[in-house]
Amino acid sequence: MKVIVQRVKSASVSVNQKIVSKIGPGYLLLVGMKEGDTMKAVEFVARKVSNLRVFEDEDGKLNRSIHDTQGEILSISQFTVYGDVSKSNRPSFTDAMQYQEAEAFYHEFNRILEEEYHLVVKTGVFGEHMDVSLVNDGPVTIIIEKS
């Protein structure tokens, strides 16, 4: 499982030119699952996202979590984070998890963030073409990956 975390001032996602979710300050998550991922990986990554300290404290150090800032999360399913271009210029997605299983893992990941870590999580629409807008804050971008 791989999640690209972007600290944002705001973010939104649209499907068919209609905004389906938007957030203020917090995280935009680009969430990808690969073949062989387990629920233990999902739990690990959710815990890392919840505890990640990438917001400045009073001394300007990255020492505060999303809990400390009462930030929100916009979680976007993104199988393309497992695009492999090592052998050609056209990405191969053979490592990406199959659609139905990936959808279940994605929903479980978001559920854990909401119910176990008490975070506000908004989502895009799994499997749809989405337009994602964001105002990156910093920019701060972190990749969390667990096999």
For the question of residue 6 being annotated catalytic, the response is no
C-alpha distances out from residue 79 to 17, 58, 62, Å: 21, 37, 29
Q: Which of 80, 94, 98, 141 is catalytic?
A: 80
Q: Which of 6, 78, 105, 109 is catalytic?
A: 78
Q: Which of 6, 38, 44, 79 is catalytic?
A: 79
CA–CA separation, 79 vs 83, rounded Å? 8
For the question of residue 69 being annotated catalytic, the response is no
Bridge partners of 2, per DSSP, are 32, 145
State the DSSP string of 64-131. Answer: EEHHHHT-EEEEEE-GGGG-B-SS-SSPB-TTBPPHHHHHHHHHHHHHIIIIIT--EEEE--TTS--E
For the question of residue 79 being annotated catalytic, the response is yes
List residues with catalytic annotation.
78-80
